[in-house]
Structures are given as structure tokens and as C-alpha cells.
Chain A
Amino acid sequence: MSVRSTITSQFQQVAIEQERTLAPLSDDLKLVQSGLDSLSFAIIVARLEDALGIDPFNDAAEFPVTFGDFVRLYENFAK
């Protein structure tokens, strides 16, 4: 599975678990408008660390604003 598809499926899975309505995941979707709260993001980041073996948030200079930024953060970190 690609980094992008792993991230997408985690967003969808956590949204279901947290009973949140997830906005369609396009690259320009602002994370604050995604329908997820900070707890959901915390869970996503932890599970992505287990799935991908990386946690780019540990030393991220700035927090991603859009879903596209979020995916690129992981893709660039994984390289």
C-alpha cells in the first residue's frame, strides 16, 4: 500500500471509530475542515507510526494545513 493510501484509510477508519463525518479527502481540504478533532489526529499519527514506522510530527517544523500537506509530510519523511 502506498503512503497516501495508508493515510487515507487511517483517516476513514478513525472517522468511523470517532463517529465523525469525514469531508471528501482532496489535497486542498483544510484539515480543520476535515471533520476530525485533535484526538482523531493524535490517533491517526500514532497508528501511522506503527504502520509506516515514522512519526514526522516528532520534529515537524510546522503543522500541515491541508490534507495534501499532511500526505507530503509523510512522503518526504519516508524518502
Chain B
Amino acid sequence: MRSDARSLWESITARGVPAGRLHGTSGCVALAELAHASALGGRLAELRDATVLIAIKDQLTAALVLLELDGFVRRLVLCAPDLAAEHYAGVIERSQAEACVRDAASAAAVPLSLRTSVLAEPRLTPLPARPAARHASEWILLTSGTTGAPKLVLHTLASLTSALAGQPPPPQPLVWSTFYDIRRYGGLQIFLRAVHAGSLVLSQAEEPVLGFLERAAAAGVTHISGTPSHWRKALMSGAVTRIAPRYVRLSGEIADQAVLDSLRGAFPQATVAHAFASTEAGVAFEVRDGHAGFPATLLGGGGPVELRVSDETLRVRSPGTATCYLGEAESLRAADGFVDTGDRVEERDGRCHFMGRRGGVINVGGQKVHPEEVEAVINAHPWVRMSLVRARRNAITGAIVTADVVLAEEGGARGARPAGDVLTRELAEHCRQALAAHKVPAMIRIVPALEVSPSGKLVRPNA
């Protein structure tokens, strides 16, 4: 990434014609084609200097539109395809959107009344030449809260690409892929990395994991990212054997030791890395040593990303931090520039461990329980693939802890699975060995599946 580039297109063409391709379910486009072609039917001029809502169902189309519009419009407002219809009016008002770009599928789903509406498609229209960038566009990302309206987070191309600054191009082009949608922070990071380093295989909402990984394999995927929940689902599907990446990345949720170990087992040749990033704080760090948590030496260390723990939660200040929220009274950063991530961190033996979200704590008779801490213990059991720990109301202690557990697939080294009641007793005993009594689930229920949100995170009913 060149720090003096005025647009994403200038940045990825700084060293010459880009060699990579974008692979979607709707087709495949060579990045080089975008020098003289448009996904907007040549209607770019109508969007000049405008604030443009990007509401597109197809990921490939969205990727092409972002590459075409950045540097040419005032603001890009990125709506993920699962944004609920009732939230559009608020997003338009707070972002001051004047125009929208949609594809046929999204236009049919949500009617929007904006001054200008442009239809995009992955089939490109030839153009004589691409116009020069006019200014640095603002990028507005929406937070994916489970309840209420999303917040609008203002970034710039410089803040979004700060983690790439000064990185040399790879000797061989990489083939990136991600389970994420590129309209979310985690996916957008991969999109920006990929177009600077090679190619990208885009997933599509509702696409079965097997089909997606087969497409990634066909494109020769070398680098792939997702949340721990994405990866657990992929491991359960058995489809991970289709790919042989060199680099596997987890972010967006706590990567516990069990999921790290499972991925190392599935991809013995790959580097398994887990990263901490959030829409507001930006990319904070990446850990490649295969262990959960991060070295305490990262706190208060030098470098552009500053980390500290105060009031038991992780705070981040970096060039990757977002500028502000749009249309919110709440400020995104403290006066000193640090962003409160809301993620609780505990230091043990020189290692910082994520304990869970500040708002997610269960209170059992005055004693705190972080669901994620209990889940990490349950997930370490060889017969568990994923789990959800939640509060159940209780007249005696206010709440008690319960757990829903998805079992690991049969076969392989594990052999035949014991009966359900044997396993729940074994799991309860396993928890009692590792946890204080109030943290041990009073009930453990085996369930066929757990809900994962469109952002790739476990859905927490109490959150």
C-alpha cells in the first residue's frame, strides 16, 4: 500500500498492472480489466462527489463497485446484504446519502428513494479510460450489533490500510479467500490485502461451505480468513480437506486453544494466526505462535499500534482507528485517542487472555462468569466442536449458567461417539476440574447446531 495514493485503484496499480483476479459466484474478473471498464454501466459521472450508499447483494459486484468509486465519490456507505430493511432510512439520514448503487437482487428487496440510483452488475461495460481520482473518499462501515440500529463508523482508505503500510509485495501473487462479507470490517481488510497482493475468492451469503471451499480450492487458495465460528462450521462440514492453504487466519471472536489446535491438525503445513481487530479500533495485532491469547509484552510496547488494559478491558490507539461515529452522541475514542474495545482481558503468566465482552457477564449470586471462559473449557473436550454458554434466570442466585453443546463429527482418530448422557456427565466433570463451582454449567444440553450470525459470530441471546 502506498501512503501517497489517493485512491484504492491508484494504490493497487502503483507498481504496474495488477495481476490478480476477483472470483465470485457470479463470475470472475481480472483486476486489470477495471482500467478500461465499468461495473456501473459507465454511469460513474452521475455519482461524482456524492455520498453513495452501496447496497448490493452479490459480493463480486460490490468489490468491483468499491474499486471503481473510491477516490471519485465523497463517501462510500457499505451496507452488508443482511442489513434489515427498517434500518435503511436511519443509515441514509445519518450518512447524508444522496445516491445508491444496487444490483438487481438488492433493488428488488429494498425500495430506496434517493436522488440517484445506479444499477451495478458484474458484467463490465467498456470505457475509454478510467477518470483520475478526485479526493480521498470516506468509507462508512456499519457495526453489526445484534439488536438495535447499526452504528455508522467513519474510516478513510489510510486508516483501513494502515496495517498494510510499508509491506512489500509478495514474491508470488497470493490467492486470498474469506468467509466474511467484504462489507464488514474483517472482510474488508481481506479485500484490501488481496487486491494489493494477488487474487480474492469471495464467498456468497447462503452459499454452502462445501461449495465455497471447492471454489477456493479451484482458484488455488493460499491464504484464508474467517471467525472461529466460521472455522468450526467448516471443520464440522468435513470440507476443509478440499483446500491446502499456507496461511489460515481467525478474527472477530475469541480464538480458543481448541479451535487453534483443530486448525493446526487440519492444515499441518499452514501458519495458523489469530488477529484482533474491530470496526472501531482497527487491526491491533496478529498472533502466530499457535497459542490462545497474546503476549503481555504487546501491552505498552512501541510501534504504531498502542495497546493498554484499563478497567480490565483492552484499549487500542493506532493509525487504523476509525475517526468517529456519524450521527451518534457517543464518541468513538476517548480524549487521549484510545478506543475502548469492550473486550475483557486477564493477564496470566505473561500471556493476556480474552475473557469475553464486558456486557456479556453473567452474575451468579454476585459472582461474575464470562460465558466465553466457560465455552473455552467446554470446547477443549475432544468430543466438542462448539458451545454456547448463557444465563438462565434463577430465583435463588439471580442467574445460573447453562451450556448448549454441538458435538464433534464422528470418525477419524476419535472413533465412535459415546452416548449423549455419558458425554454430558463427562463434560460437567471436565468443567468442575477446570472452573470454580459457580462457573460450571448447571445444565448441559447437546444440540444439533448453534446459530451463527451473518457476520460470522455466535449469536448470544443475552447480549
Q: Please give the distance in Å from A32's CB to the nearest CB on chain B.
A: 13
- Chain B residues in 8 Å Cβ range of A45: 394-396
Q: Please give the distance in Å from B192's CB to the nearest CB on chain A.
A: 48
A47 touches B442 (CB 8 A): yes
A43 touches B428 (CB 8 A): no
State the CA gap A38–B400 with chains docked (Å). Answer: 11
A18 at the interface (CB under 8 A from B): yes
- Chain B residues in 8 Å Cβ range of A17: 428, 432
- Chain A residues in 8 Å Cβ range of B397: 38-39, 42
B365 touches A39 (CB 8 A): yes
- Interface digits, A30-65 against B, CB 8 Å rule (1 contact, 0 not)? 000000001101110111001000010110100000
> What is the predominant secondary structure among interface residues of chain B facing chain A?
mixed
B395 touches A60 (CB 8 A): yes
Q: Please give the distance in Å from B324's CB to the nearest CB on chain A.
A: 44
B438 touches A46 (CB 8 A): no
State the CA gap A60–B443 with chains docked (Å). Answer: 23
B364 at the interface (CB under 8 A from A): yes
Q: Please give the distance in Å from B27's CB to the nearest CB on chain A.
A: 52
Known: A38-B396, A57-B395. A43 touches B365 (CB 8 A): no
Q: Which of B430-463 contact A (CB under 8 A)?
A: 432, 437-438, 442-443
A42 touches B400 (CB 8 A): yes
Known: A41-B396, A55-B395. A46 touches B443 (CB 8 A): yes
B308 at the interface (CB under 8 A from A): no
In this complex, the interface size class of chain A, counting residues with CB under 8 Å from chain B, is: 10 to 19
Q: Which of B157-216 contact A (CB under 8 A)?
A: none
B395 touches A39 (CB 8 A): no
State the CA gap A17–B402 with chains docked (Å). Answer: 15
B123 at the interface (CB under 8 A from A): no
B392 at the interface (CB under 8 A from A): yes
Q: Which residue of A lies closest to B428 (CB)?
A: A17
Known: A17-B428, A58-B395, A60-B395. A42 touches B365 (CB 8 A): yes
Q: Please give the distance in Å from A62's CB to the nearest CB on chain B.
A: 12
Q: Which residue of A lies closest to B365 (CB)?
A: A38
State the CA gap A55–B432 with chains docked (Å). Answer: 26
B437 touches A18 (CB 8 A): yes
Most B CB contacts (10 A, CB to CB) among A17, A41, A42, A45 go to A42
- Chain B residues in 8 Å Cβ range of A18: 437
B428 touches A46 (CB 8 A): no
State the CA gap A48–B392 with chains docked (Å). Answer: 14
Q: Which of B379-434 contact A (CB under 8 A)?
A: 392, 394-397, 400, 402, 428, 432
Given A39-B437, A45-B395, 16 other A-B contacts at CB below 8 A? Answer: A18-B437, A38-B365, A38-B396, A38-B397, A39-B438, A41-B396, A42-B394, A42-B396, A42-B397, A42-B442, A45-B394, A46-B442, A46-B443, A47-B442, A50-B443, A57-B395
A and B contact pairs by CB, cutoff 8 A, 12 listed = A17-B432, A18-B437, A38-B396, A38-B397, A39-B364, A41-B396, A42-B364, A42-B395, A43-B400, A45-B396, A47-B442, A50-B443
Measured CB to CB, the residues of B under 8 A from A are 364-365, 392, 394-397, 400, 402, 428, 432, 437-438, 442-443
